[in-house]
Amino acid sequence: MTTSELAQGDALESADDVTAPPYRLQPLLHDLVSTVMAPTSALSGPDGQIRAAGVQGVFHADSRALSQVRLLIDGVEPEAVAHAPAGPGRTRFVSLARHLGDRHPDPTVRLDRVREVGRSGMTETVEIASTASADVAATVTIELSCDFAPIEVVKSGGLAEPSPPSAGRPGELHWRSGAIRVVVTGEGAEADPGDPGTAADGEPGGATRLRWNITLAPRTRVTLRWRVAIDDPAAVVVAPAGQPEWSAPEVVAADRRLTRLLHQSLDDLRSLRLAEAGAPGDVFLGAGVPWFLTLFGRDSLWAARMLLPLGTRLAGGTLRVLARRQGVRLDPGSGEAPGKIMHELRRHEFAVEGNNLRLPAAYYGTIDATPLWISLLHDAWRWGMPDHEVAALLPNLEAALGWLGDHADPDGDGFVEYIDGSERGLANQGWKDSGDAVRFHDGTRAEPPIALAEVQGYAYEAARHAAALLEAFGRPGAARWRDHAAAMAERFRARFWVEGPQGRFPALALDRDKRPVDSLTSNIGHLLGTGILSAAEEADVAALLASPAMAEGFGLRTMSSADGGFSPLSYHCGSIWPHDTAIVIAGLARAGHGAQAASLAEGLLAAGESFGYRLPELYAGDTREVVGRPVPYPAACRPQAWSAAAAVTIAHVALGLYPDVPEGRVTLRPLAGAPFGPVSVQGFRVAGTEVRVSVGADGRADVTGLPAGMSVVGD
C-alpha cells in the first residue's frame, strides 16, 4: 500500500533494524473511532475519550494538535454504551453518569456527545439529559493537552512532551508551535490553563481544562459546546471547497449489504477529499487515516480510477496534481527521474527514530504510479473526460512514456524494475512495499533489483493505452508503444511463468538474478484484463485465485496459505486488502470469470458487515470456518480511500457498464446469474450525464439516460 518500511505489522521492519533497546512498537488502532474531514481527524476510544496514549488525538495534516480530550462529570468518566457514525465528519457517542440521579437500576442521566470534525478544527456538542425525580447538580470538565507530535513520531511509538497553554479571552486556551496555532474555546466555560504546582477539586493538580457548573431540573437537558480551531499555514494539503467531485448514486439492491456498504463508503470518501495548498481547485483523495492523510500517487490514482463510474472530475484533479509534481531530474535520494510520477508528499522529511528510513518531503520511490497515471488518463477519457482536459495532459503523458522507455528498466533486460538507490528509502516499491513483501515459495526474501509481475501488466496496459491516446489526438508514437507492449508480453510469457503444486502461474517477481519468485500471490490477479495474458492464461490465473489457499477468507489473500512466508496477520503475506480484492474482482469480470468475481465480492460484503460497513485498510486472512468473522489487523488505517472505493467497484462490476465515449458506444456486461439479485443504480455518469443502470433477477441489464449519440452494444 501506501506506506513506508515502518509498515504496519513489521513495526520497525525486523529485529535487524532495531539498534538498541527499548524496542518501540507502532501503536494499535483497530478499536479506535475515527472522525474525519480531511485534513483534520480525531481518533478516540469507543467512549469518545481521547486519552494521552498511542495514536489517539486530534490531528491536522501530519501533526497532532490535541493529544488529550477527556470529559469528566464530578471528576468521574461517564460509562460508554454506544457510538455510531452520523454522516461525513460526524460521530455520536452515548454514555451514562450513573453516580447522578435516582438510585435504581434504570440510568437517569445520559450524555450524547456529538463530535464534528471540520476542515480546520473540531466542534463537540455535549447534551446532558436527566429523567431523575429531583434536581441534579454537577461539574463538567474537559481535560486537554497538546503536544504537536509529528505523525511519524506517533507512528513509531514515540512520545512528545505536552506544550504549555496560555489563557486568552474568557473560555479560551491557546497553544503555539512555530507557525501552528491551536485555539480551544468553550461556550460559557471557565478556562483553566493549569498549574503543575496546584491541585483543584480534589483532582490531580495541573490539568488544563474547560469547566461548566450545571443544574438539571427533572426531565430537562443542558447543551454544552466547545471547539478547537487549528491554524496551520505550512501544511502542504488543505481542504477543498464545494461538494464532492462525484455523483451521489441512488442504489437499490436485493442484497442490502451492498447498499449499506456503498452508503458508508461514499461518506468516508467525502471525508478524505484533499487539495494542495497552492492549487485548491484540483481535488484528490488522501490515502487513509491516520498515517497517510496526504497525497499518495498510487493510492490516489487507484481510488480515482475505481470511482470513474461516478464521474471523471476526481480523476482530472488527481491527474493534474500529480502532473504538476512529475519528475524532471535524476535524484537517487528522492527517487525522482524525468517523467516519473511521485509516491508521497509530506510537510518535511519523514524520518523514523531507530530506523534507517528517511524519506524526503516529496518522495518518488514507487515503480507503478507512472503507468497507473497513464491508464487513469486513458480510462477517464473513455468515461467521457472532456477532450480539452485530456489534451492539456498529453505533454505529461509523453514525459511519463519517456520514463517508461528510458528509466524504468535500469539494467536493460526488458522488464520494469526497482532498487532503492538511496539506501534510506523503501526497499520494495510496488503496492506491497513492506520490507518482507517479496518472498519465494520457501519463505526466503528476494533481493533487488526486483521486477514485479503486476507492474509488467501495468506497463503493458499503459503502453497500449498511451498508443490509443496518441493516435486519437494526432500525436506521434502510437505504433512504437504498441510494439513495445507486444514485446513485453512475449518476454513476460517466457520468463515469469512457473510450475507450482497447484499448477502453472505467473511468479510474483523476478529477483536480482532474474530468478522467478515462485510464491502464489494476489499480485497476479492484477494482470487480469490488462491484455498481457492470453484467454487461456487468464483462465489458469482465475482458477488459482479462486482456490481455497487464496480465497477461503473474507476476500483474496495477498499470499497463498501454502507458501512458506504466509501468515494471516502479515501486512502483505497472507492478509486481505479490500482494494486488492476489488482490483482482482474487476479483472475477473473483464476477463469473463464472473463466478469467481462474485465469490470474492461476497467476501468483501461479509467483511463490510462485520466492520460496520467501513472497510479497513486490511484485515487478517484467516479461514472463514475458523473465526466466523474477519479478525482486524490492529494497525490498519480506517477509513482508507481505496478500501472505501472498493464498494463502487463491486456495484460497477455487478452492473457491467463499460463506456467508450470517444467511440460513441457503451458495452453492458453484468455478472452472470445476477449473484446479488436485482440491482439498480441511478447516478453513474457517462460523459458527465447521469444514467440509470439496472440488472434484473434474470440477469438482464438495461441502461437509460445515455448522452445523445451513444449506443449500447452487446459483449
Residue 600, domain CATH: 1.50.10.10
Q: Distance between CA 281 and CA 272 in Å, rounded?
A: 15
- Whether 34 maps to a domain, the answer reads no
Q: What is the DSSP string of 92-105?
A: EEEEE-TTSS-SSS
Burial 702-711 (b: 16+ CB within 10 A, else e): ebeebbeebe
Alpha helices in 473-547 (DSSP H): 478-495, 535-545
Mean pLDDT within 412-430: 94
Question: How many CB atoms neighbour CB 20 within 10 A?
Answer: 6
Percentage of the chain with pLDDT > 70? 95
Q: Do residues 495 and 510 touch, judged by C-beta distance below 8 A?
A: yes
250 with 205, same domain?
A: no
Residue found under cell 524504468? 408
Q: Show the cell assigned to 431.
A: 503496492
**Domain of residue 180, residue span:** 40-231
**Domains of the chain: total:** 2
Mean pLDDT within 545-573: 97
Q: Phi-psi region for residue 357, left (φ > 0), alpha (ψ -120 to 50) or beta?
A: beta
State residue 103's pLDDT score.
Answer: 92
Question: Letter for the amino acid at 371?
Answer: P
Q: What is the DSSP letter of 639?
A: S
Q: Distance between CA 98 and CA 306 in Å, rounded?
A: 48
Q: Show the cell assigned to 589.
A: 469480470
State residue 8's pLDDT score.
Answer: 39
210 with 246, same domain?
A: no
- Whether 13 maps to a domain, the answer reads no
23, pLDDT greater than 60? yes
- Whether 709 maps to a domain, the answer reads no
Q: Show the cell assigned to 612.
A: 460496520
Mean pLDDT within 637-663: 98
Mean pLDDT within 255-271: 98
4, pLDDT greater than 60? no
195 with 264, same domain?
A: no
Q: What is the DSSP letter of 77?
A: P
Most distant CA pair in the chain, distance: 85
The residues, ordered by sequence, that sit 6+ positions from 651 with a Cβ below 8 Å of its Cβ are 249, 251, 253, 258, 262, 309, 679, 681
Mean pLDDT within 527-540: 97
220, pLDDT greater than 70? yes
2, pLDDT greater than 70? no
**H or E segment at 265?**
helix 256-271
What does pLDDT average to over the chain? 94
Q: Show the cell assigned to 460.
A: 503493458
Q: Which residue has the higher pLDDT, 11 or 36?
A: 36
221 with 316, same domain?
A: no
In which band, very low, low, confident or very high, does the pLDDT at 197 lie, cut at 50, 70 and 90?
Answer: very low
161, pLDDT greater than 80? yes
In which band, very low, low, confident or very high, does the pLDDT at 354 lie, cut at 50, 70 and 90?
Answer: low
State residue 579's pLDDT score.
Answer: 98
State residue 1's pLDDT score.
Answer: 42
328 with 423, same domain?
A: yes
Q: Distance between CA 242 and CA 264 in Å, rounded?
A: 20
Residue 118's CATH number: 2.70.98.40
Q: Distance between CA 428 and CA 447 in Å, rounded?
A: 10
Mean pLDDT within 43-59: 97
State residue 518's pLDDT score.
Answer: 97
Q: Distance between CA 552 and CA 536 in Å, rounded?
A: 24
Q: Distance between CA 643 and CA 649 in Å, rounded?
A: 10
Q: Show the cell assigned to 532.
A: 498481457
Q: What is the DSSP string of 343-407?
A: -EE-SS-EE-TTSS-EE-SEE---SSHHHHHHHHHHHHHHHT--HHHHHHTHHHHHHHHHHHHHT
526 with 576, same domain?
A: yes
State residue 421's pLDDT score.
Answer: 87
323 with 245, same domain?
A: yes
17, pLDDT greater than 70? no
Please tell me whether residue 643 adopts helix, strand or coil conformation.
helix
C-alpha triplet 591, 455, 334: angle, nearest 5°: 150
702, pLDDT greater than 70? yes
Q: Which residue has the higher pLDDT, 354 or 183?
A: 183
Percentage of the chain with pLDDT > 90? 89
459-483 residue pLDDT tens: 999 999 999 999 999 999 999 999 9
Which residue, 213, 231, 249, sits at the end of a domain? 231
State residue 409's pLDDT score.
Answer: 95
Q: Distance between CA 197 and CA 205 in Å, rounded?
A: 7
393 with 428, same domain?
A: yes
Alpha helices in 496-551 (DSSP H): 535-545, 548-551
Burial 538-567 (b: 16+ CB within 10 A, else e): bebbbebbbeebbbbbbbbbbbbbbbebbb
State residue 24's pLDDT score.
Answer: 78
Q: Distance between CA 167 and CA 175 in Å, rounded?
A: 9
Q: Which residue has the higher pLDDT, 104 or 256?
A: 256
511 with 388, same domain?
A: yes
CB-count burial class (<10 Å; 0-12, 13-18, 19+) for 137: exposed
State residue 685's pLDDT score.
Answer: 98
217 with 242, same domain?
A: no
14, pLDDT greater than 60? no
Residue found under cell 510450475? 499
Q: Show the cell assigned to 434.
A: 513492506
Sheet holding 33-37, edge to edge: 33-37, 40-44, 57-60, 63-73, 136-146, 208-216, 190-192
Which residue, 205, 231, 257, sits at the end of a domain? 231
Q: Show the cell assigned to 130.
A: 436527566
295-314 residue pLDDT tens: 999 999 999 999 999 999 99
Q: Distance between CA 295 and CA 275 in Å, rounded?
A: 8
7, pLDDT greater than 80? no
State residue 202's pLDDT score.
Answer: 41
Which residue, 208, 231, 254, sits at the end of a domain? 231
- Whether 707 maps to a domain, the answer reads no
Which of 141, 161, 146, 144 is closest to 203 using CA atoms? 141
- Whether 311 maps to a domain, the answer reads yes
Q: What is the DSSP letter of 435?
A: T
- Whether 715 maps to a domain, the answer reads no
State residue 357's pLDDT score.
Answer: 84
pTM over 0.85? The answer is yes
- Three-state secondary structure readout of 557-579: ECECCCCCCCCCCCCCCCCECHH
85, pLDDT greater than 50? yes
203, pLDDT greater than 80? no
633 with 547, same domain?
A: yes
48, pLDDT greater than 70? yes
Q: Distance between CA 336 and CA 568 in Å, rounded?
A: 35
**H or E segment at 304?**
helix 297-306
- Whether 564 maps to a domain, the answer reads yes
- Whether 23 maps to a domain, the answer reads no
The residues, ordered by sequence, that sit 6+ positions from 680 with a Cβ below 8 Å of its Cβ are 251, 252, 253, 692, 693, 694, 695
State residue 206's pLDDT score.
Answer: 62
State residue 353's pLDDT score.
Answer: 66
Please tell me whether residue 632 adopts helix, strand or coil conformation.
strand
Residue 676 CA from chain centroid, whole number: 25
275 with 194, same domain?
A: no
